[in-house]
Amino acid sequence: MNKKKLVSLLLALAMVFALAACGGDTQGNQESQTPSTSSPSGENNASSGDAKVAVFYYNYADTYIASVRTALDAALDAAGVTYQDFDGNNNQTTQNEAIDTALADNYNILVVNMVTTGSSDTAKAILDKAAAKGAKVIFFNRAIEEDGAEGSVLGADTYKDMVSFVGTDAPEAGHLQGQMIGEYLLENYDTVDLNGDGVISYAMFKGDEANVEAIYRTQYGVEDANKVLTEAGKPEMAYFDPASSSGYQVDMGGAWSSAAALEYMTTNLAQYNETNGNMIELVICNNDNMAEGAISALQAAGYNTGAEGSKTIPVFGVDATDSAQALIAQGVMTGTVKQDAEGMANAICEMVTSTAAGTSMADAAAAIASSNEIYTVAEGIDNKLYVAYAPFTGK
């Protein structure tokens, strides 16, 4: 074995042990745990080095983010890392002020779930503040660069040695959801086609107009489903409202909320229903929160109750939250795409401990990717780590 291969092997082995310290199972079971706001008092152990970590969440109220927070708190506690959580409350100004406070208090590793997603200017402003204090930054979950500008921040010479990203490959969830929907429709076409016109009428709920994840989920959730249908000789799906130019309804607050989907769907069903012969026959949602809101509206109209003989409108989401998994088990939700909260948390924890120990961001990402197949390094951006999505139907 040559020297280069030996070094790579040793790094990978080191990460396996470190990932175990950061939570062990990286498959993400999403069981609920009681979150803590800081680690137990006392000195850090050897795995945490001199890390003093501030974790900034875009919004505690987001169900998926709450799952990541629970898992990351547990992982950092297990690794003996001193940390503090901060809630951005879906407001970038609030998050910026919290970052200023943390840096003034000498936190030296910032773990940031940015409120203003896909904004290189916002990311650079955070990095400049951190650089002035000698702190490192680990962004996670929400894109920090504009679509098509990947690497403009993460690969910039000014920042690349002090920054990394742990998240997902944005188009993947949309592709998986679209494939899942298309296959489900082929298996259940006549049942789903309530008015028997041969075309499936669908509603689409988009979480945030500018969020790259929402953009790709909205696009590919429909495009890929249509591809499955047309390849099998079926017509493409039709958006329920023929007057709509966008083909979706967006949460205007950017919160991906169940309340927004509930309000939209309740209004939709007043006009688009079986009595009028134009019932919405399929619901596609960018996340499970919005799926739950749509299901609540359907249940109020007598659908998706789980009762024997009642009609169920297929509803698909993304995240595989505990509540969504329960709804799928009850037969009132059809499927979702798992975004691995525990897998993301463990990767962040390992990035924290490796960074604290002096490992470069790129080497840490490479070793994490070598340790488990759910992780990959983005092509051409060696400090960007992806956590894989997976389809979930409860079967």
- C-alpha to C-alpha distance for 318 and 333, rounded to whole angstroms: 12
Cβ–Cβ under 8 Å, residues 99 and 110? yes
Q: Would you say the CATH fold of 171-338 matches that of 3-167+340-388?
A: yes
Where are the alpha helices (H) located in the chain, listed in sequence order?
3-21, 63-79, 92-104, 120-132, 170-192, 212-231, 258-271, 288-300, 322-330, 341-356, 361-371
Rounded CA-CA distance 197/226 in Å is 17
Mean pLDDT over each residue of the chain, to the nearest integer? 90
How distant, in Å, are the alpha carbons of 21, 105, 129, 258, 381 from that of 168?
23, 31, 26, 23, 13
In 3D space, the residue among 288, 335, 285 whose CA is nearest the CA of residue 312 turns out to be 335
Q: Is the pLDDT of residue 239 over 70?
A: yes
pLDDT of 395 reads 82
87-106: per-residue pLDDT in tens?
A: 999 999 999 999 999 999 99
The hierarchical CATH code for the domain 171-338 is 3.40.50.2300
Render pLDDT for 153-196 as a digit per residue (tens, 0 to 9).
999 999 989 999 999 999 999 999 999 999 999 999 999 999 99
Average pLDDT rounded to a whole number, residues 199-212 = 96
* Torsion angles phi and psi, residue 336, rounded to 5: -155, 175
Q: What are phi and psi of 25, to 5 degrees?
A: -65, 115
- Report residue 45's pLDDT band, with 50, 70 and 90 as the boundaries: very low
Domain ranges across the chain = 3-167+340-388, 171-338
**35: pLDDT confidence band, cut at 50, 70 and 90?**
very low
pLDDT at 48: 53
Tokens of 84: 């503090």
CATH code: domain 3-167+340-388 is 3.40.50.2300
Tell if the pTM clears 0.75, that is, is over it.
Answer: yes
Report residue 214 as tokens. Answer: 């929402």
289-315 burial: b if 16+ Cβ within 10 Å, else e: bbbbbbbbbbeebebbbeeeeeebbbb
* Band (345; pLDDT cuts 50, 70, 90): very high
Instruction: Categorize the per-residue pLDDT at 17 as very low, low, confident or very high, splitting at 50, 70 and 90.
Output: very low
